[in-house]
């Protein structure tokens, strides 16, 4: 029996199995990528851009195959998987464009006395080997948010996906090779924790780009030493509905950004705050639409909510729902489980110190809170270890600007939810939500170093 079995979370079918990357294999992969700097140095920006253009086309050609693999591996609905591939194609396109635009600046030393007659030519240069570690929930798009900018910047890459995504990750790497990324500059590795820990600590790894949980991020940071860290560590993101907001639009956003991907998104709308004046209207409309959602087989294009990634994940979500109910929460919808499927669940009167609200809950559970004064919401939003994104529905620009300054988050989306993301926008949070910013332009610079030539 091999080290890891890939099990379909919906029907428990065995999809494949593999052995973890050994110490010897990890050392070989790291040595190859570290020694490939000269290979990459021979590829000019235009050539890297053309390779990424070819990869964009290959992803489009293999869209259905990749989407099907994602659905089989993760239980994500096929409709959701297709959307992810569309985003990954756009991400790759943006990487191709930005590869040609890595510009520096020219500084005049005489801007400050004394007169020295020098120029400073500030340039961006590759940082070195980048270890890219990705989660299960967006296995192709998040991978391209790491591989694409790292390669555009001219860096060698070690790519470590979630083990559940071995099949889709292998196909992605094969497509990268077919597009023209040199084989010694990109290596797929799937080590166990001890071997991965050694890779993280190895001085030949110059940067680590990680998306995942805060505990894992802290462990990586403690092991990494003096390396560039780019972390996206999740969130407990609020969605706020004011009386002047578009209620129907807010309902649609709440459903899409909480129940899609079975709630397994770092930017999911995990805490819903609704003004008392529109609370009844919002809840009534929300319950009507949520009750109509198709739950079940993720391969059915009509299905909106499929299974969680595994039994352990479903157990955690179920436990948190039960704890909230035992502490006085009222179930408005759901609270039903079928194997790894948690049906869309809507609760009110959830205690603010419950695990369901206090921690990041990765599942299709929506706690709703009524409020009267927006100033009462600000400490509730900020009194949390996370600070990724937030959303608010309001027609008041002045209120949006005020909350933008007061909320401890990386992004505030107005008349949208915290799940909003455009591939070229900066993406990242504060506090336990991470370090640095993704988004193609920004990620390229996070995975580069500045050098200055004085002439």
Catalytic residue positions, numbered = 232
Question: Rounded distance, CA 158 to CA 205, Å?
Answer: 9
Reported as half-sphere exposure (CB side, CA atoms, 13 A), residue 433 has a value of 25
Q: What is the DSSP string of 111-150?
A: GSSSP---EEEEEEEE-SEEEEE--SSSTTHHHHHHHHHH
Both tokens of 292, joined, read: 């109509």
**Reading across the β-sheet that carries 237-241, which strands appear in turn?**
330-333, 345-348, 365-371, 269-275, 237-241, 389-393, 411-414
Both tokens of 211, joined, read: 């998306």
Question: Rounded distance, CA 224 to CA 265, Å?
Answer: 26
Question: Rounded distance, CA 193 to CA 183, Å?
Answer: 25
First to last CA, the chain: 62
Closest CA to 174 of 159, 163, 191, 162: 159
Chain position carrying tokens 């050994």? 22
Q: Count Cβ atoms below 10 Å from residue 409 Cβ, excluding itself.
A: 26
């Amino acid at each position: 029996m091999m080290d890891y079995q890939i099990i379909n979370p919906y029907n428990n079918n065995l999809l494949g199995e593999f052995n973890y990357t050994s110490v010897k294999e990890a050392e070989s992969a790291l040595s190859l990528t570290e020694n490939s700097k000269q290979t990459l140095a021979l590829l000019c920006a235009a050539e890297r851009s053309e390779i990424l253009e070819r990869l964009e086309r290959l992803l489009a050609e293999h869209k259905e195959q990749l989407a099907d693999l994602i659905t089989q591996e993760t239980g994500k609905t096929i409709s959701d998987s297709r959307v992810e591939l569309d985003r990954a194609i756009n991400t790759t396109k943006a990487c191709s464009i930005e590869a040609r635009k890595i510009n520096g600046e020219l500084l005049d030393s005489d801007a400050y006395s004394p007169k020295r007659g020098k120029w400073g030519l500030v340039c961006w240069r590759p940082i070195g080997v980048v270890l890219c570690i990705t989660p299960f929930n967006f296995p192709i798009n998040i991978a391209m948010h790491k591989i694409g900018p790292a390669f555009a910047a001219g860096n060698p890459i070690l790519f470590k996906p979630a083990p559940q995504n071995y099949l889709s990750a292998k196909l992605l790497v094969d497509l990268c090779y077919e597009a023209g990324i040199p084989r010694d500059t990109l290596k797929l590795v799937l080590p166990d924790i001890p071997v991965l820990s050694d890779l993280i600590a190895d001085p030949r790894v110059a940067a680590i780009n990680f998306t995942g949980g805060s505990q894992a991020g802290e462990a990586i940071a403690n092991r990494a030493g003096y390396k560039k860290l780019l972390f996206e560590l999740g969130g407990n993101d609020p969605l706020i509905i004011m009386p002047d907001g578009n209620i129907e639009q807010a309902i649609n956003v709440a459903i899409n950004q909480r129940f899609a991907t079975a709630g397994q998104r770092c930017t999911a709308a995990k805490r819903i705050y609704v003004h008392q004046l529109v609370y009844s209207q919002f809840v009534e409309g929300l319950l009507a639409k949520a009750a109509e959602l198709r739950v079940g087989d993720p391969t059915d294009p009509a299905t909106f909510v499929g299974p969680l990634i595994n039994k352990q994940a479903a157990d955690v979500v179920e436990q948190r729902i039960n704890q909230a109910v035992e502490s006085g929460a009222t179930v408005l919808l759901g609270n039903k489980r079928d194997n790894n499927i948690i049906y869309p669940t809507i609760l009110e009167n959830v205690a603010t110190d419950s695990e369901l609200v206090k921690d990041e809950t990765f599942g299709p559970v929506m706690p709703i809170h009524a409020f009267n004064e927006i100033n009462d919401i600000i400490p509730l939003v900020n009194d949390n270890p996370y600070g990724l994104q937030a959303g608010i529905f309001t027609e008041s620009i002045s209120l949006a600007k005020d909350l933008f300054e007061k909320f401890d988050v990386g992004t505030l989306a107005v008349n949208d939810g915290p799940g909003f993301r455009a591939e070229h926008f900066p993406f990242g949070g504060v506090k336990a939500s991470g370090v640095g910013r993704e988004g193609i332009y920004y990620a390229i610079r996070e995975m580069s170093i500045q050098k200055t030539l004085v002439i």
